[in-house]
Amino acid sequence: MAKLIDGKAIAKDIRNQIKNEIRELKQNYPNFSPRLAIIQVGGREDSTCYVRQKEKAAKEVGIEFMLHKKADSITESELLTSIRELNDNPTIHGFLVQLPLPSHINEKNVVETISPKKDVDGFHAINLGNLAKRNCEPLFLPCTPKGILELLKRSGIKISGKHAVVIGRSDIVGFPVFTLLSRSDATVTLCHSKTENLPELIKTADILIVAIGKAGFVKGEWIKPGTVVIDVGTNAIEDSSKQSGVRWVGDVEFSSASAVASHISPVPGGVGPMTVAMLLQNTVESAKRFLQESRERDISLLPLKLLSPVPSDIDIASAQTPKPIKVLAEELGLTPSEYELYGKYKAKVNLSVLERLKSKKDGKYIVVTGITPTPLGEGKSTTTIGIAQALGAHLRKPTFACVRQPSQGPTFGIKGGAAGGGYAQVIPMDEFNLHLTGDIHAVVAANNLLAAAIDARMFHEKTQSDKALYSRLCPPKNGVRSFAPIMLKRLHKLGINKTNPDDLTSEEIQKLVRLDIDPDTITWQRVIDTSDRFLRKITIGQSPTEKDQTRVTGFDIAVASECMAVLALSTSLADMRERLGRMVIASSFDRGEGIKSITADDLGVGGALTVLMKDAIKPNLMQTLEGTPVFVHAGPFANIAHGNNSILADKIALKLVGVEEGEEEEKCGYVVTEAGFGADIGMEKFFNIKCRTSELVPDAVVLVATVRALKMHGGGPEVVPGKPLPEVYIKENLEMLEKGCENLVKHIQNAKMFGLPVIVAINHFITDSIAETELIRKKAIEAGANDAIPSSHWEFGGKGALELAKSIVKVTSSSTKDSKEEFKFLYNLDRSIEEKIEIIAKEMYGAAGIQLSDKAQEKIRSYTNQGFDKLPICMAKTHLSLSHDPKLKAVPKDFIVPVRDIRASVGAGFLYPLLGEMQTMPGLPTRPCFYDVDLDTETGRVYGLF
């Protein structure tokens, strides 16, 4: 008699191995959790039985199981939609659709819609095709064929050199078994229902696999003595002795075959249990693959073709072909549902990534700031990108750069593009500098909707009675009146706890419908993303239809809108909704109950603003010239706002370069983010405003300095955009440079005040001498900097910033003191408004004190009464001096900072004192940058952008 191949026992052994493997993986990676899903269409009894078996086995070994039951009547389109949802669900590692399906659904379409990466049944054409190709490996082997091979191997049966006969040519069993046996070096004959002389062919088999679907089809006399028989058939035949009325038999006549075969698998208890075991094994392999991919983050790089002299920025950018952003997204481990393509080279990343990666430890967090710059800037953006290219492309550390989106005002005005420079840029440079994905346009739309709502509300309140206003604000629908949710919010604010519009008294109606906006207190202006000095002050309401409701207002540049600051400081979509709704736009007239702040939600427009900006909250994914990832997101004005890219971009990037619990610290990546203007502005606001909200603490500060800026602080002549640099800036002058280093020293001291290590990046220009660079390095180290490194990233890309990147790695390594424990804010929020302003002025600027105007003092009293005094301070001052006066260079002494006014950005969450006249709408120069910008109409290439 043949030896029984006990599939039950072998499958049980495999399940135990899987269970132990999952337990061990969970010990090393606590969040490792394999998940299997099954879609079952209809209620066929056999399908339900099979699904239960799979569910029981999955739960037994520690695989989470999800069953999606669908009605028989489901359409093919609806089923395919459900499959795509599981494809896009990053928590599901494998799934299958239980077959067979109702006749109106095409099984081929269903199987081919399942992602090959989650096709744990192994039926997808890509997996079957790779199985058939000799030098390819499928992601998954079909479960039954894989189980058959496992039965043979675990039973000690030699396959190599043997003659195998496979009966049945289905895609589920026959063809895959044929291929797997061939791969194991057997000589294989594939037979089917139309094969002639089948008994004679079967007689030649050393190994016989039968999957033809006919009960007892193969007889014992057809089988050569000593043959190994694997019976795949499961056929129900009537048997009155059984309680169910049927018994299950295979495709081989067991009684006669077992008398001649050396080994035989029984039915049931042979192949069936193995199929389920292999499904579990495939699911675990898939989960391990997903885990590995999330850890590897292997970014393909773009080689640089360095030219000398260095061409223009746009020529360099145009000469580099970016990789498709879809490729970069996949390299980062993003699933298709986690990003949205905007053309070939840009994508938005969904906030859901944060939830999926919440268990990851954040990467290293580096903030790039600078000394007090010349009007030309000192290359913070270029340095940020250069560091990211060095860390990512040359040291092969997972690295993200996070930068702001530039306004088109400066792009077409004085400054030009802001994608970095030279061989350290974000590409495509033209798309970066222009519309990108429309975030700034969304800010413009939201800002101007709110502006229109303000004037419209004042118009309607002036021209209508309380009753008329109420009937229009709360109209009946189908004879029933109800409050909009945003109106209920205002009622609650007013202390009116009623939900039925018919229950309000005339006094309550008046409170609800009358905002009583005082036009003289309106702080909200319209915005446009163009530099246009003639919009700084305008008169509106001049049409006869406005009924003499004229008032003077103006336009700001789009990035000066509080909506942009809110976008940058929001930590979630819900948080952005709350912030937009609480933006204060004016105060009410005092009608005997005191002056009240009027918010966007009071106007009923907070929800609409959020709808306009719902896509803008998603960070924009781009790449550097060397193919490393960049988030470009938000661009708040660095004077009246905090001048940093978004919290959400930094948070997502930190997770994407972070490590799982149990991974080596050395695999931890880096996020390099930039703070606008000098360290006295951008860095101070980064710490005291952005870090308070994000609860993130950087690992180090990189302070960018240049020879030319330090010479300016040492007494050099004025630097004017558009004019050639005076000769002193391009020739060695150590005396002037040494004097100017006082500014560098003060900024190092400012950064050290927050308790973090400081690395000075000496942004090298080709006119800088070795002696000048060494002098800066010496002064920086003496002032307490952890290191000072010259960097030539503009000229050489990431390679030019390699030593700087190595210094960052060394300073932030785990072997050094944990700087995050030393981090501290400059002031406590419980301090008074005046005290907080004074602390910043004295500590950051070196002022002797502050002087508050009468207007500023009145604002302090008003904001304190309204409960805004606990907000952080966002100083609005010139970036061209440590002081309030742009003419005072180096490190001014004994000056008093005048505070002429204080304004509130309650939605963004800060107060901003005005230390001088802050220009929130740039003007165009005599020769704007747009003179050089044009388009090659044949190729579509932009040139002259910068």
User: Catalytic amino acids?
Assistant: 54
Q: Name the maximum alpha-carbon separation found in the chain.
A: 111
Tell me which amino acid residue 664 is: E
Distance, C-alpha 686 to centroid of its chain: 20
| DSSP code string of 534-565 | GGSSEEE--SGGGTT--EEE-EEEGGGSHHHH
SS3 content of the chain, % helix, strand, coil (to 5): 40, 15, 40
Token pair for 482: 């109800």
Angle in degrees, 0-180, between the axes of helices 833-840 and 854-865, rounded to the nearest 10:
130
Cα separation, 364 vs 698, whole angstroms: 7
For residue 594, the number of C-alpha atoms closer than 13 Å in the C-beta half-sphere is 5
- Residue 33 buriedness (CB in 10 A; 0-12 / 13-18 / 19+): middle
Please write down the long-range contacts of 101-108, taking CB distance under 8 Å and 24 or more positions apart: 101/41, 101/42, 102/41, 102/42, 102/72, 104/75, 104/76, 105/41, 105/74, 105/76, 105/79, 106/76
**Amino acid type, 613:** M
CA distance 163 to 185: 10
Cα(629)–Cα(399) distance, integer angstroms: 7
Spatial distance between the Cα atoms of 654 and 648, rounded to a whole number of angstroms: 10
Give the type of residue at 505: T
* Residue bearing tokens 């000048």: 772
Quickly count: other Cβ atoms within 10 Å of residue 483's Cβ: 18
C-alpha 810/C-alpha 397 separation (Å) is 13
Nearest of 24, 55, 21, 16 to residue 37 by alpha carbon: 55
Question: How many C-beta neighbours within 10 Å does residue 198 have?
Answer: 18
Which residues does 561 contact at the CB level (< 8 Å), separation at least 6? 443, 444, 446, 447, 527
**Rounded Cα–Cα distance for residues 234 and 51 (Å):** 16
Cβ atoms of residues 522 and 554 within 8 Å: no
- Separation CA 420–CA 623 (nearest Å): 12
Q: What pairs with residue 427 in β-bridges?
A: 623
* Centroid of chain to Cα 137: 32
Strands 551-553 and 538-540: antiparallel
Q: DSSP class of residue 49? A: H
Radius of gyration of the chain (CA): 35
**What does the alpha-carbon distance between residue 353 and residue 651 come to, in Å, rounded to a whole number?**
10
CA distance 617 to 576: 8
**Between helices 143-154 and 271-296, what is the axis angle to 10°?**
110
DSSP string of 239-304, one letter each residue: -TTSTTSEEEE-SB-HHHHTTT-SEE--SSSSHHHHHHHHHHHHHHHHHHHHHHHHHH--------
